[in-house]
Amino acid sequence: MANFVLVHGAWHGGWCYRDTARALRAAGHTVHTPTHSGVGERAHQSAENITLETHIRDVCGCIEAEELQDVILCGHSYGGMVITGVADRMPSRIKALVYLDAFVPDHGQSLTDLLRIALPPEVAAGFLGAFHGTALENHSGLMAPIPAEAFGIKAENRAWVDRRCVGQPLATFEMPLLLKGAGAAVPQRLYILADGWDPSPFRHFAAKVDGQPGWRVTKLASSHDVMVDMPAELAAELMTLG
């Protein structure tokens, strides 16, 4: 049986993997869904000085505390930034990396850098304007969540997602990811593209890694929040790595 660590994206929490985790556990796997500092049930810890590095340490701490080995580490969206950092710090514990409609950064890149690369200039400007506008509005340094509807999430699930998402520090999006290159030792990488919504920056990353050694790319006809709209299908795809 496999050890899964499922890492959520921006504004979410471990709650978003509820149904996927249930399916994996029913099949006998061990599943952890850590929540980043400042969001989800840890929203009371929110502060503008939380960074990407904080969230990388959150996930490393989970893996260390649970004494996990041979981890299948899945990151959704912003979580791709996080799992890349985690793999660089503890590659010997990671069996496979799964980028779930996620950013795939190189050394020195921030999420805002990747948006500028992956989207047409006018679309990227819209996203970045939303990032900075809501953070400046209340002088809070927190970016308000983008509504579920914008990510194509099924109508019946939007209220739940919008209700649970909270603001996230702008610094997490603007901090460059610093890598030593140790993550290259992780033997397997899977990119899952959510192929049911647009404008998606993640088509860029799926195309970039397609055909590269050690990578496999697959598609699910889903909104951006695959774990919310297609939890059983996601669990089945993850179990191909177990």
The mean per-residue pLDDT over the stretch 139-146 comes to: 80
The structure's pTM equals 0.96
pLDDT surpassing 90 at residue 141: no
User: Does 182 score more than 90 pLDDT?
Assistant: yes
Q: Which residues, in sequence order, are CB contacts of 143 under 8 Å at separation 6+?
A: 10, 11, 130, 131, 132, 134, 135, 167, 168, 169, 170, 173
Given a cut of 60, whether residue 139 has pLDDT beyond it is no
CA distance 129 to 26: 42
Confidence of residue 213 (pLDDT cuts 50, 70, 90): very high
Q: Which residues are catalytic?
A: 77
**pLDDT on residue 92:** 98
Model confidence over 154-168: pLDDT tens digits? 999 999 999 999 999
55 contacts: CB under 8 Å, gap ≥ 6 = 36, 37, 82, 172
Pairing type for strands 30-32 and 168-169 reads unpaired
Amino acid at 83: I
The predicted pLDDT at position 53 comes to 98
Q: Which of 19, 16, 10, 63 is nearest to 38 (CA)?
A: 10
Nearest to 101 by CA among 26, 201, 187: 201
Tens of pLDDT, residue by residue over 39-87, are 999 999 998 889 999 999 999 999 999 999 999 999 999 999 999 999 9
Dump pLDDT digits (tens) for 82-138. Answer: 999 999 999 999 999 999 999 999 999 999 999 999 999 988 888 777 777 776 666
